[in-house]
Structure 1
Amino acid sequence: MAVRRDAELAGAVQAATQGHGGEVSVAVLNEADGTSASYASGGGTYDTASIVKVDMLAALLLRAQDEGRTPTARERAYATAMIESSDNDATTALWNQLGRAEGLDAANERLGLTRTSGGDGPLWGLTQTTAADQLALLKQVFGVGDDALALSGESRTYVQGLMRNVVSDQAWGVSAAGDGGAALKNGWLPRSTTGLWVVNSVGQVTVDGRRYLVAVVSNGSVTKAAGVALVEDVAKAAAGVVSGA
């Protein structure tokens, strides 16, 4: 039976966030033995910013699977730009193609994301999610766990490949918890209403040959750099909790 270490994670997060501002939630899974943990603050629901792009790509691939086809050359070009360099124009094009929030929400019912809801109108970056839902998405993308997998092996390999090839200046975040070879997607967004930052990071990291899925979402940091530091410290703490070290 897989072990949960939520209490240990709560203590580790509280220690890791000393001196940081803002709120943070995290969910983590040790792929080898199923040990997992989650911690949520601030109600647990956060703006996705650009981490929604992995969810959107999963939705696009589900649609292609349903239609018995592979993504078109145009869709692949958009997907590459959206994941590897976080291109917003490509994302908007795919968001509209999916049918915006309605299309994303329909896909998420199949992917097992129960507390994620698409942003209003064109505002894909204001999709709401939780760390636990992002971990559920990562399990789908990386084919981990006992849950039914909606994405085919070919689709999973495709998403993973793009996440392993993000541009170097966007390779921060959960990668701080690993020792190289991370597959990830980050999101960052200054909120005009407060001037504070949303900073998120989700992905797979490897430590001493063992793989972990880590999802960290945050808001309320005074700068992007402060948000990155918060996310990285929490990711490292979370991986340590489920590693058994």
Structure 2
Amino acid sequence: MRPKWAAWVGLALVAACGAERAPTVPVAVRASAKVPVKVARCVMRFPDKRAARAARLRLEHDLSRYLRTRPGRIVYSAHDLVSGVTLGQGEHRHDLITASGAKVDIVAALLQRRHTSGLSAGDRDLAERMITESDNKAADALWSRVGGGGAMSTFYRRMGMRETTPGPGIYWGGTTTSPTDRIRLLDVLINGGKGLRASDRRLLLELMGRVHREQAWGVSAAARPRDRVALKNGWTPRPFIHDTWAVTSYGRIKGPGRDLLLSVQTDHQPGHGAGVQTIERVARTIGARLDRLSPTYTRPCPTNPIP
């Protein structure tokens, strides 16, 4: 009997020891066993230069092919401040007039001259009408107050806008410029410098963001649903140049992951509508495909073995 009793005691001790060593599973962990927990996978993101080059070539090819089917001269420039992407065609051509696009220049030059005092109430009212309504009489008044073409030449040199020439005499609408210089002006309004106070720059961009609906065509076609647009357009008949039109548009399209500066200029257009149609097709194409110009690929994060 003694061996049998000893065996039972041994079994009891083994069972007791096993019960003490059994791990206690927390309630949260037991619950998660029924509902799998998703663990974030660490990945690193890199620019895909090869895919970016291919996307750029396709976009530039498609834009060039479209522009060959359109009348007149068409040039454009684009620069996204977020991705750093730039593209253009004829972007340094500077013998196209900007028409009412020069109205932003006039206000900026006046603000630069009155750096400490700002605009008077009367001048501010003229500036608002000139930008949001494209009022020509307001532009005439401020062109005179800023000092005409001579003062504007000084302004352009100070701004580094070497491809812009003020219109002759009282004709501010005859100002010639390039898409590159339109982008340069927008960049100063956004990022500062060149003697313009932050409050003055905000004023101009805010006015460009309130352009009347019927005049908000053009580069705004590049905008996505949640983007905000600040722009200025120009348009004028050219009766002495085969009864054609000059139509221009430049501005800022800002939204999630994007801060696009875009300028499209046309001349020798058969009409205002033809110019608008061309500008909006270029803008829409760039806006729709801009993200493809900065693609990325991912790789798993490196793991360090535990010693």
User: TM-score, normalised on structure 2?
Assistant: 0.72
Q: Does residue 203 of the first structure (1) align with residue 248 of the second (2)?
A: no
Match of 1:90 among 114, 123, 138: 138
Unaligned runs of 5+ in 1: none
- Structure 2: segments with no counterpart, 5+ residues: 1-48, 294-307
- Tell me which moved more, 218-227 or 8-17: 8-17
2:278 aligned residue? 230
The separation in 2 between residues aligned to 1:233 and 1:186, in whole angstroms, is 15
- Rg larger in 1 or in 2? 2
Structure 1 stretch displaced more, 225-234 or 38-47: 38-47
Q: Is the 8 A contact 2:228 2:255 kept in 1?
A: no
Q: CA deviation at 1:98?
A: 1.2
Report deviation, 1:228.
0.2
CA distance in 2, matches of 1:142, 1:171: 20
Aligned to 1:218: 266
Q: Write the distance in 2 (CA, Å) between the matches of 1:86 and 1:201.
A: 13
Who is 1:177 aligned against?
Answer: 222
- The answer (yes or no) to whether the contact 1:183–1:203 under 8 Å persists in 2 is yes
Is 1:33 aligned to 2:83, yes or no? yes
Is 1:16 matched with 2:63?
no
SS in 1 for 2:248: strand
Q: What is the identity, as a one-letter code, of the residue corresponding to 1:181?
A: R
CA distance in structure 2 between the aligned counterparts of 1:16 and 1:133, rounded to whole angstroms = 24
Partner SS state of residue 218, structure 1: strand
Q: Match for residue 71 of structure 1?
A: 119
Q: Secondary structure at the match of 1:53?
A: helix
Match among 165, 185, 197 for residue 152 of structure 1:
197
* Contact 2:82/2:258 (8 A) holds in 1: yes
The corresponding residue for 2:175 is: 127
- CA-based RMSD of the aligned residues comes to 2.4
The alpha-carbon distance between structure 1 residues 237 and 149, as it changes in their structure 2 partners (threshold 3 A), is farther
Per the TM alignment, residue 233 of structure 1 is displaced from its structure 2 partner at its CA by 1.1
Task: Tell me the residue number matched to 1:192.
Answer: 239
TM-score (norm 1): 0.89
Distance in structure 1 (CA, Å) of the matches to 2:130 and 2:204: 11
Rounded Cα–Cα distance in structure 2 between residues aligned with 1:14 and 1:207: 27
Q: Is the 8 A contact 1:53 1:91 kept in 2?
A: yes
Partner of 2:228, secondary structure, is coil
Q: For residues 196 and 41 of structure 1, do their structure 2 counterparts lie closer, same or farther at Cα, with a shift above 3 Å needed? A: farther
Say which SS state the counterpart of residue 182 (structure 1) adopts.
strand
* Count of paired positions: 239
Partner Cα separation in structure 2 for residue 87 and residue 73 of structure 1: 17
C-alpha spacing 1:142/1:16, structure 2 compared with 1 (3 Å): farther
Larger RCO (CA under 8 A, 6+ residues apart): 1
- Contact 1:199–1:218 under 8 Å retained in 2: yes
**Residue 150 of structure 1: how far off its partner (Å):** 3.5
1:17 partner letter: L
**Shift in Å at residue 208 of structure 1?**
4.9
* Aligned residue in 1 for 2:40: none
Shift in alpha-carbon separation, 1:8–1:151, aligned structure 2, 3 A: farther
How far residue 111 of structure 1 moved from its aligned partner, in angstroms, is: 1.3
Q: 1:95, 1:124 within 8 Å by CA — same for their partners in 2?
A: yes
Deviation at 1:241, TM superposition (A): 5.6
Share of identical aligned residues, percent? 32
1:50 Cα offset (Å): 0.3
1:169-228 Cα shifts (integer Å, max 9, x gaps): 000000001124211000001101121110000101135552200011110111101100
Query: What amino acid maps onto 1:192 in structure 2?
Result: P
